[in-house]
Amino acid sequence: MRPALIAAACAAIGSVTGQQQLLGQESQTTKPPNIVFILTDDQDVHLQSLDYMPLVRKNLLEKGTYYDKHYCTTAVCCPARVTLFTGKAAHNTNITDVNPPYGGYPKFVKQGFNSKYLPVWLQEAGYNVYYTGKLFNAHNVDNYDSPYPAGFTSSDFLLDPFTYNYLNSSFQRNQEPPVSHEGEYVTDVMAQKAYGLLDEAVEAKKPFFLMVAPSSPHADIQNNSGSLTFDAPVSAPRHRDLFKHVKVPRTVNFNPNVPSGANWIRALDQQNTTNVDWNDHFYRQRLRSLQAVDEMVDGLFERLKSHDLLDNTYIFYSSDNGFHIGQHRMQPGKSTGCEEDINIPLIVRGPNVPINETTQLVSSHTDIAATIFSIANIPLRDDFDGLPIPLTAPAIESAISKRREHVQVEYWGFAGGEGIYDRRLHINNTFKGIRIVGEGYNLYYQIWCTNEHELYDMSKDPGQMKNLLLDDSRVDVVAGHPIERVVERLDALLMVQKSCTGEVCREPWRSLHPDGKVMTLEDAMASRYDKFYEKQVKVEWDFCHNGYVPEAEGPMFEDRGVEFRDDGFMWPDWV
Ligand SMILES: *[C@@H]1O[C@H](CO)[C@@H](O)[C@H](O)[C@H]1NC(C)=O
Ligand SMILES: *[C@@H]1O[C@H](CO)[C@@H](O)[C@H](O)[C@H]1NC(C)=O
Ligand SMILES: *[C@@H]1O[C@H](CO)[C@@H](O)[C@H](O)[C@H]1NC(C)=O
Ligand SMILES: *[C@@H]1O[C@H](CO)[C@@H](O)[C@H](O)[C@H]1NC(C)=O
Ligand SMILES: *[C@@H]1O[C@H](CO)[C@@H](O)[C@H](O)[C@H]1NC(C)=O
Ligand SMILES: *[C@@H]1O[C@H](CO)[C@@H](O)[C@H](O)[C@H]1NC(C)=O
């Protein structure tokens, strides 16, 4: 290990000058910027929902940068949100589900995060913090005050069990009791609250962070004394008749004639016409419900503009996780490692952020807290698993060759559809993966708790229809190298990432190659490392479990001692 070197690198990133270079800020006297963060619920990239949001296009895409390779690392609401707010992967928060015992607001509190997350840190740094919308699952009309979420100057939370009840929401302001909004459209109620909070923030004349987290386009859920009924999302009445002829994009992986994927996904039957037609309806309802979000975004921009705040405010738009409808024959839902579920929207607009640009730089929700720290000029925490996302043209340009080019994906539990058909819960939906995008490769590698392996070449097979590790679709060469050599590297990287914390997560290749000579998959592919990677202990599960219990997780990198690290010794090429 070279702790001194790593510490020096981190210090440079954490220093004022480092952060200001990242943001293109010229001097320390700049007034701290404001931050507005819009976080939707279950919004996809790959079903093209952003194409139906003209006001997001006008205000954000055309005025900011779109991060095409942004990922959530755990594709379900509560774990994804906790990762976003703490800068830690789910295996370090142990918030791995939406409800107790493995997740939800009570577990968040129990794990001690109510005093160690973004709102609290921003307040400590002198920011006023405002929030309206959904915070976490299982934050409800009974437990909202035990304790109150910490870190908010003013808040108005959307509470369970009414979070997905589009026409009977329950909001809870500051320390007041919940108020029911029967018959009002939830996003319109929230928009008024968001505008009010923005006015409060302006009035207070302090730098502020405002987060608005609509429940759209999540499925509608009604909780009738404990029995949950799922239905398509509901739109505001004024948007009811839009998009009558729109259907889920018929990509190659849409309800395919042949099974795909592995485990429970491979066992799914093809959907019949009744089911597909209903799923198209579900899709249209998502787009219709997003129209009120689109309008709210425009409303926020109008107000930012009228308060003359646009020059000193960063505006983020993202979703907690992605969504699939019919891909690989799956019912509407998330919770898998498929690209539709993990690749999510991220748009940033703000001072020095390139205008009307798209970048292929890889980033994840693990990086969001660190990014906001950079903007607010707060020294980065050493226990962050993520790194600030570069926000200026030069920073993006130089990061392309230096920054981590992969994200680690992880999941524990079951998967369930959110439509009206096939409401089975699929157990054994526990897995770990690596999504990696670099010069000459674009791959996804996943290992299920059943020890089934998948590898997809996303440049040739973006729909993930050909698992290259299955006998009938196996290839010898992937990304220009023998497939087993590539898998050995990805497996070793996953072994490090699956239990990493802090700096090991930020620079996982250094744990394998402490001399710093390997920073990318391409570096690791050098043939002199073939023997080294061949002998690495492989990722393997002991059994499937619904939560993160170490007994289930097989060998861990930390357990294995120094012989599994490359200490700079070079195998001669002829070995
Ligand atoms: C709406 O929610 C309130 C509780 O917040 C409940 O008392 C009321 O019965 C609900 N109305 C309908 C129509 O479900
Ligand atoms: C549904 O409502 C019951 C009480 O009627 C509650 O115990 C349960 O937690 C609710 N479920 C969800 C998912 O909110
Ligand atoms: C179509 O599939 C759904 C879900 O499996 C099933 O409930 C329904 O009965 C089927 N309808 C027809 C007409 O086969
Ligand atoms: C944004 O860029 C695209 C091409 O990438 C161009 O067609 C479009 O006109 C640009 N829009 C604006 C508002 O600059
Ligand atoms: C779930 O995984 C276990 C291995 O942990 C296996 O024994 C069992 O058959 C699997 N069940 C299903 C329904 O796939
Ligand atoms: C995660 O939480 C669960 C539920 O409380 C617990 O059983 C498990 O041991 C925890 N895992 C770790 C690694 O602490």
- Listing DSSP states for 201-224 in one string gives HHHHTS-EEEEEE--TTSPEEEEE
pLDDT in the model for residue 472: 78
Q: How far is CA 64 from the centre of its chain?
A: 19
Nearest Cα residue to atom 14 of ligand 2: 161
Ligand nearest the Cα of residue 275 is 3
Q: What is the average per-residue pLDDT within 463-483?
A: 92
Comparing 56-60, 180-184, 220-224, 229-233, which segment has the lowest mean pLDDT?
220-224
230: Cβ contacts below 8 Å, ≥ 6 apart: 219, 220, 221, 417, 418, 419, 420, 423
pLDDT of residue 574: 45
Q: What are the Cα distances from residue 362, in Å, to 38, 229, 292, 368?
A: 20, 37, 30, 12
Of 72-86, 232-246, 471-485, which range is least confident? Answer: 471-485
Banded pLDDT at 473 (limits 50, 70, 90): confident
Which residues, 6+ apart, have CB-to-CB distance to 117 below 8 Å? 82, 85, 86, 151, 369
3-state SS assignment for residue 438:
strand
- pLDDT grade, residue 83 (50/70/90)? very high
pLDDT at 9: 35
Instruction: Please answer whether residues 103 and 384 qualify as being in contact, where contact means their C-beta atoms are separated by less than 8 angstroms.
Output: no
Pocket around ligand 6 at a 6 A CB cut-off: 94, 101-102, 547-550
How many residues does the structure list for the chain?
575
Residue ranges of domains in the chain, CATH in brackets: 12-406 (3.40.720.10), 439-572 (no CATH)
Q: How far apart are CA 381 and CA 364, in angstroms?
A: 17
- Residue 56: CB within 6 Å of ligand 5? no
Atom of ligand 3 nearest to the CA of 271: 2
Strands 441-448 and 453-457: antiparallel
Q: Which ligand is nearest to the CA of 268?
A: 3
Mean pLDDT value of segment 371-400: 96
Q: How far is the CA of 491 from the centre of ligand 2 (A)?
A: 40
pLDDT exceeds cutoff 80 at 4: no
For residue 348, the model assigns a pLDDT of 98
Q: How far is the CA of 137 from the centre of ligand 2 (A)?
A: 11
Residues near 219 by Cβ (< 8 Å), separated by ≥ 6? 42, 164, 230, 231, 232, 233, 282, 332, 418, 419
- Locate 55 and state its tokens: 């006001």
- Please report the atom of ligand 1 found closest to the CA of residue 222: 14
Lowest mean pLDDT among 446-450, 451-455, 520-524, 556-560: 556-560
Dig out the tokens for 415 from the structure.
């998967």
Written as six digits, the tokens of 446 are 């996943």
Nearest CA to ligand 4 atom 6: 356
Ligand 2 atom closest to Cα of residue 163: 14
Report the C-alpha gap between 402 and 10 in whole angstroms: 14
Identify which ligand lies nearest to the alpha carbon of 105: 2
Atom number in ligand 4 closest to CA 355? 14
Question: Once rounded to an integer, what is the mean pLDDT over residues 353-382?
Answer: 97
Which of 223, 227, 418 to mutate for ligand 2's pocket (most ligand atoms within 8 Å of CB)?
223
Q: Which two tokens stand for residue 439?
A: 């010069």
pTM: 0.94
pLDDT at 22: 56
- Cβ proximity of 83 and 408 under 8 Å: no
Please give the residue that has the higher pLDDT: either 426 or 31: 426
For 417, list phi and psi in degrees, rounded to 5: -75, 155
In short, whether 534's Cβ falls inside 6 Å of ligand 4 is no
Strands 34-40 and 208-213: parallel
Ligand 3 neighbours, Cβ below 6 Å, are 272, 274-275, 421-422
Inter-CA distances, 80 with 74, 190, 225, 343, Å: 6, 22, 28, 12
* Nearest ligand to the CA atom of 277: 3
Report long-range pairs for 517-520 (Cβ below 8 Å, ≥24 apart). 517/568, 518/566, 519/402, 520/405, 520/438
Lining ligand 1 with CB less than 6 A are 162, 168, 170, 180, 182
Residue type, 340: E
Q: For residues 402 and 128, which has the higher predicted lDDT (pLDDT)?
A: 128
Task: State in Å: Cα 212 to ligand 5 middle.
Answer: 40
- Predicted confidence band of residue 8 (pLDDT cuts 50, 70, 90): very low
Residue 10: pLDDT over 60: no
Interstrand relation of 431-438 and 406-411 (parallel, antiparallel or unpaired): antiparallel
For ligand 3, the distance from its centroid to the CA atom of residue 271, given in whole angstroms, is 8
- Give the model confidence (pLDDT) of 320-329 as tens digits: 999 999 999 9
Q: How far is CA 17 from CA 22, 35, 126, in A?
A: 9, 20, 20
Q: How confident is the model at residue 400, as a pLDDT?
A: 84
Q: Ligand 4 centroid vs 53 CA: distance in angstroms? A: 16
Q: Ligand 2 atom 12: the closest Cα is on which residue?
A: 161
Burial class (CB in 10 A: 0-12, 13-18, 19+), 232: buried
What average pLDDT score do residues 171-196 get? 98
- Ligand 1 mutation target, pool 180, 189, 223, most atoms within 8 A of CB: 180
Structure tokens at 51: 């194409």
Annotated catalytic residue: which of 77, 338, 449, 505? 77
Confidence of residue 208 (pLDDT cuts 50, 70, 90): very high
pLDDT digits (tens, 9 = 90+) for 132-168: 999 999 999 999 999 999 999 999 999 999 999 999 9
Task: Give me the mean pLDDT over the 357-362 stretch.
Answer: 97
The mean pLDDT value of the chain amounts to 93
Please state which of the ranges 64-73, 168-177, 313-322, 464-473 shows the lowest mean pLDDT: 464-473
Average pLDDT rounded to a whole number, residues 397-407: 90
Instruction: Give the residue whose CA is nearest to atom 3 of ligand 2.
Output: 226
Which ligand is closest in space to the CA of residue 66? Answer: 4
pLDDT tens, 539-574? 999 999 999 999 999 999 876 655 667 766 555 444
505 catalytic, yes or no? no
pLDDT digits (tens, 9 = 90+) for 249-285: 999 999 999 999 999 999 999 999 999 999 999 999 9
Say how far apart CA 469 and CA 471 lie, in whole Å.
6
Strand partners, 3: none
List the one residue out of 315, 281, 425, 341 whose CA is nearest residue 79.
341
| Pocket perturbation via mutation, ligand 6, pick of 548, 551, 558, 559 by most ligand atoms within 8 A of CB | 548
Contact indicator for 519, 511 with CB cutoff of 8 Å: no
**Do you find a cis peptide bond into 217, omega within 30 degrees of 0?**
yes
CA of 427 to the centre of ligand 5 (A): 8
- Ligand 6: which atom is nearest the Cα of residue 102? 4
According to the model, what pLDDT value does residue 24 have? 55
CA of 175 to the centre of ligand 1 (A): 21
Quote the tokens at residue 433.
């993966």
**pLDDT given at position 573:** 45
**Top-confidence residue, 19 or 533:** 533
Provide the pLDDT for residue 456: 98
Measured in Å, residue 383 CA sits from the centre of ligand 6 at 19
Distance 113 CA to ligand 4 centre (A): 42
- Is the shortest distance between the CB of 543 and ligand 5 below 6 Å? yes
Q: Which residue has the higher pLDDT, 16 or 488?
A: 488
Atom of ligand 4 nearest to the CA of 356: 1
**In terms of C-beta density within 10 A (0-12 exposed, 13-18 middle, 19 or more buried), how is residue 137 classed?**
buried
Query: Closest Cα to atom 2, ligand 4: which residue?
Result: 356
